[in-house]
A and B are shown apart, each in its own frame.
Chain A
Amino acid sequence: MRAAWAITTTTIRQLLGVRRLILFGLAELAPAGVLLLMTQTLAEEAALDRLLAMVAALYFPLFVPIVTLIVAASALGDERRDGTLSFLVLRPIPRSVIALSKFGGAVIVAAGLNIFGAVALTAAYGIETGSWNLVVPLVVGGAFASIVYASLFVPLGFFTDRAVLVGLVFVFIFENAVVSALNGLSSLSPWRIGMSAFTGLAPTEVAAELSEFGGASLSSFGTALFRTVLIAALSIAATTMVLRRRDLT
C-alpha cells in the first residue's frame, strides 16, 4: 500500500509540472470563456443549446481526449524513455502494483484537469442562467471519459514513442470519423462513454436535446459505468502482463 501510494504521488508530480498545469488549466477554461461570451444575450433554453453544443462538439470529443492523451501517454512512456522504469521494476513489489499506481496517477491528473474544465463550463452556464444541475453530470461524465482514455493511453505510451500521434489518429480518425459514421462501434468510443454518463445523470430534457449532437449513439449510465470499470480493469491487467513479460532493453 505504501509503495502504491509512493508511485502514485510521484507519478502525479511527474505529470503535473507547473507549465503543463498552467497550459492545460487555461485550455480547460477556454470553452467556459466562449460560452460566457455567447450566452450573455440569450434566453435559458438557447443557452442550454449552446452549452450542449460545447459539451458534444468541444469538451468530450476534443478537450478530454487530448488532455488525457498527453498526460496518460507520459505515465509509463516517460519512465521507459528516461530509463527510470528499471528503477520501479527492480523492487520487491508486484508488477500489478506498478501498473495500478501508474494508471491511478494518470487518471488523477487527467480527470482532475478535465473535471476542472467541466466545472468551469457548467459554472459559466450556471452564472448566466442560475441553473446548476449540470455540474455533477458533466463532472462524472468527464471523469468516466478520462478513465477510459487513460486505460488506452497509459499502455500505449509504454509500447511506442509515437503514442501521441497514434492517440490522435485514434481520436480523430477512428472516434470522430469512423464511429460517427458507424453507430454500432460507439461502445468503443471513450468520449461517447463519458457523454453517456453525462446524459444518464442529467435532466431528461438534456438527453433529448443531445440527440441533435449525435446523442442517438449513447448508452445508459449503468452501461457507461460497466464499460468504464471493465476497460480500466482490462487495461491494468494488460499493463501488468506486459510489465512481467516484456524485456526492458
Chain B
Amino acid sequence: MTTNPALVESPTVELDDTSKWFGQKVAVSNVTCSFGPGVTGLLGPNGAGKTTMLRMLTGLIRPSQGSVRVLGVWPRTSPSVYAEVGLVPEEAAVYPALTAREYVRYAATLSGIADVDEATARAIDTVALGEPADRKLAGYSKGMRQRAKVAAALVSDPQVLLLDEPLNGTDPVQRLHLINLFQRLGSEGRTVIVSSHILDEVDRMSDRVIAIVDGRLAAAGDVAAIREAMSDIPYRVRIESDSTRVLAARLLEEALVHGVSVDGGILHVETGDLAALGRRVPAVAREVDARITSFQPEDASLESVFRYLVRR
C-alpha cells in the first residue's frame, strides 16, 4: 500500500525521477509519479511541462534523466507497445486532404487491425462524428478535428490513452460528449491521462489529479483534496456579454462572487468556487436578460493558484 499520492498501486504508466531539459530550459524536473486504470488529470498552466511529459510517455522525446515506462517498457525501444497506446496530441496533427473516415482508417491500418472497416466505423461512432466523417479534415472546425483525433487514437482499442488538451476548441455539446467518453473509457479499466490547464475540466472528468507547475510535481491526489488546498485562492473568470454592466451589478449580489471589474466591455469576476459560478451565471444572466457569449477561466489566475501549490 503506497502512501505517496503521486503513485498508484498497479501502475501502467510510470515516470521515475524523470527530467527533461532543452538546452538551458528545464521543461520537466525530477518528476516521480505513476498512473493506473481510470481517468487521471494532468493539470498545470500553459508551459508547465504537461506536453513534454506526455511526449516522453509516448517515446516521442527521450528523458534527459530518469526513466519512463508504459506497460512495463520504454516505448521508443519497444514499438510493439504502440498497439496498446493512443495519443491525442494538442497540435493539429491531421491530414487535411483526407476525410475523417480515411484518417481513422489509416490509423487502423497502421495499427495492424484485422478488420479495419469495422474498427473504423466503431471509432467514428464512439466519438459521434456521424455524417461529417466523409468530409475532408481541411474543412473541419477545431472541435471536430479533436473528435477525429480521438477516434484515430481509439481505433486500436488501446489500454493507455494520452490526451493533450483534448477539449480545446470544442463547443459545450462536444465537450460534454468527450468528457462522458473519457469517463466511460476510464471505468472500463483503461488508463486515461488527460492534460488540461483548466481545473474545472479536470474536475469534471477525472478522479485523480497530478498537478505540474514549472516542470515540477506540485500536487497529487484526488480533486477534492487539491481543491481544498487552494480554496483560499480566488479564481478569475472572464465573461463576455451584451449587458456587461447589468450582469456585473447583479453578480455582485451573489455570495460566491468575491469581486467584479469591467475592462473594455469584458467582465472579470473573482470567485472561490469556479464550478458553482459556472452553474450560477446562466441563471443570473436569464434574470437580467443578458446574453453570455463567452465564459472562460483566466490563465493568469490559475497560474497563481498553481504557484501557490508549489510554494506549499
Contact = CB atoms under 8 A, between A and B. Distances in A.
Interface of A: 2-3, 6-7, 10, 13-14, 17, 82-84, 86-95, 244, 247-249
Interface string B89-129: 10111110110000000110111100000000000000000
Interface in B59-107: 59-62, 75-76, 79-83, 85, 87, 89, 91-95, 97-98, 106-107
14 contacts: A10-B95, A10-B106, A17-B97, A83-B89, A86-B58, A86-B60, A86-B93, A87-B93, A92-B83, A93-B110, A94-B79, A95-B79, A247-B60, A247-B62
Contacts of B98: 10, 13
B91 A6 contact: no
Nearest to B61: A247
B142 interface: no
A90 B55 contact: no
B109 A6 contact: yes
B205 interface: no
A91 B60 contact: no
A232 to B, nearest CB: 23
Interface in B1-37: 22
Given A90-B60, A249-B22, A249-B61, 20 more contacts: A3-B109, A6-B110, A7-B110, A10-B106, A13-B97, A17-B97, A83-B89, A83-B91, A84-B93, A86-B87, A87-B94, A88-B110, A90-B85, A91-B110, A92-B80, A93-B110, A94-B79, A95-B79, A244-B76, A249-B60
B109 A89 contact: no
A220 B94 CA distance: 45
B60 to A, nearest CB: 5
Ranked nearest first, the 8 interchain pairs of A and B with the lowest CB-CB distance are A83-B91, A247-B61, A91-B110, A83-B93, A92-B83, A6-B109, A92-B82, A248-B60
Contacts of A92: 79-83, 111-112
A244 B62 CA distance: 11
Nearest to B22: A249
B152 interface: yes
A75 to B, nearest CB: 13
A244 B74 CA distance: 13
Contacts of B75: 90
B219 to A, nearest CB: 27
Given A13-B97, A14-B97, A90 B82 contact: yes
Contacts of B22: 249
Contacts of A90: 58-60, 75, 82, 85, 87
B255 to A, nearest CB: 45
Contacts of A82: 92-93, 95
B292 to A, nearest CB: 33
Interface of B: 22, 55, 58-62, 75-76, 79-83, 85, 87, 89, 91-95, 97-98, 106-107, 109-112, 152
B61 A248 contact: yes
A111 to B, nearest CB: 21
B275 to A, nearest CB: 33
A249 to B, nearest CB: 6
Contacts of B110: 3, 6-7, 88, 91, 93
Nearest to B152: A87
Nearest to B77: A244
Given A10-B106, A92-B82, A249-B22, A84 B62 contact: no
Contacts of A247: 60-62
Nearest to A17: B97
A248 B52 CA distance: 11
Contacts of A89: 60
Contacts of B89: 83, 86
A94 B78 CA distance: 10
Contacts of A3: 109-110, 112
A2 B105 CA distance: 12
A86 to B, nearest CB: 6
Nearest to A248: B60
A19 to B, nearest CB: 12
Nearest to B58: A90
Nearest to B80: A92
B97 A93 contact: no
A6 B112 contact: no
